[in-house]
Amino acid sequence: MADVVQTIIDGVNDLRRRVGRLERLEDHGAVTVDMNTSQVFDLTGQELGFDVQVHNFVFSGPESGAPAIPTFRLLVAADIPATLSGVSVSGFLNLATGGDLTLDASGAIAVTASRHRVDTYSAAASDDLESITGGSVGDLLLLTSVDNGRDVTVKDNGTGFYLAGDFVMSTNVDYILLIKASATVWVEISRSDNA
């Protein structure tokens, strides 16, 4: 995306230099604009400017198919790289909840987002979280309990979890933050025991 923006900036600067050279000539012909640039530039007399664009439009080639002259078009999911390096966040990083998960009979859950509330199997008073499926290596996971009356203990079992000891989420304000270190292992980053 940065390359596309830089290409546009370089093109505009080149056009400005060319228009400047034309203005210095005593007598010159009319400046023409290729029809393909009509979505980008506005030429009024000798003044070259940018056309106004609506939000979520990008200057890009086609969404799919053969390469073509770029135009402004709606941003689509395929325009966003699967992995962004050097991502920065301005303001808050919001971890919307992926919903409530209930432990299965073996003490496992399948996560689908970076934040979940966890409940015991069959609404038992307490239960152990032994393993987690889902997520990718490097994903962060924030867990808390669904109910203040049902304790979920994240087990430091040395196989699915590497923790600073077992962690009991006895209220819905107790949190544990994990990172997926390998295909089957989650490692504790921090915990907040507010019981």
Residue recorded with tokens 């290729």: 34
> Between residues 194 and 53, which one has the greater pLDDT?
194
Is 168 within 8 Å of 151 (Cβ atoms)? yes
User: Is residue 177 over pLDDT 80?
Assistant: yes
Residue 37 has a pLDDT of 64
Walk me through the domains of the chain, giving residue ranges and CATH numbers.
Answer: 2-79 (no CATH), 100-192 (2.60.120)
> pLDDT: is 151 or 92 the higher one?
151
Closest of 7, 5, 12, 74 to residue 43, by C-alpha: 12
**What six digits make up the tokens of 32?**
């023409």
CA 26 remoteness from chain centre: 54
Residue 165 confidence class, pLDDT cut points 50, 70, 90: very high
Here the tokens at position 140 are 């962060």
Nearest Cα residue to 96 out of 120, 75, 82, 117: 117
Average pLDDT (13-29) is 65
